[in-house]
């Protein structure tokens, strides 16, 4: 039984996909929440550091577009086989 369990877990590609999917989902929901409820607060923080307010929307885009790229494997470095 332990051998069958080890064989089932011996799929590194599936593990990487699961890790990419869970971290990307968490990052995506964080970005959506930030955009819906905290965008004005983030703009204030960005401006307090002397950066333009438009930078906030770049952060939002990064937290919503990049997770989709991670999930689908776009621009993800794959190790040589």
Position 11 pLDDT exceeds 70: yes
Neighbours of 46 (CB within 10 A): 18
**pLDDT, tens digit (0-9, with 9 covering 90-100), for 34-64:** 888 888 888 888 899 999 988 888 888 888 8
Range of the domain at 19: 11-72
Domain membership flag for residue 65: yes
Domain membership flag for residue 1: no
Domain membership flag for residue 4: no
**Whole-angstrom Cα distance, residue 54 to residue 50?**
12
**Whole-angstrom Cα distance, residue 72 to residue 77?**
12
Output b/e per residue, 15-26; b: 16+ Cβ within 10 A.
Answer: eeeeebeeebee
Look at the chain and report how many structural domains it folds into.
1
């Amino acid at each position: 039984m332990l051998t069958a369990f080890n064989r089932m877990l011996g799929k590194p590609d599936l593990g990487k996909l699961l890790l990419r999917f869970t971290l990307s989902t968490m990052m995506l929901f964080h970005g959506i929440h930030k955009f819906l409820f905290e965008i004005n607060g983030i703009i204030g923080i960005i401006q307090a550091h002397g950066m333009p307010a438009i930078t906030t929307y770049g952060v939002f885009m990064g937290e919503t577009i990049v997770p989709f790229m991670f999930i689908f494997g776009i621009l993800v470095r794959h190790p040589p086989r």
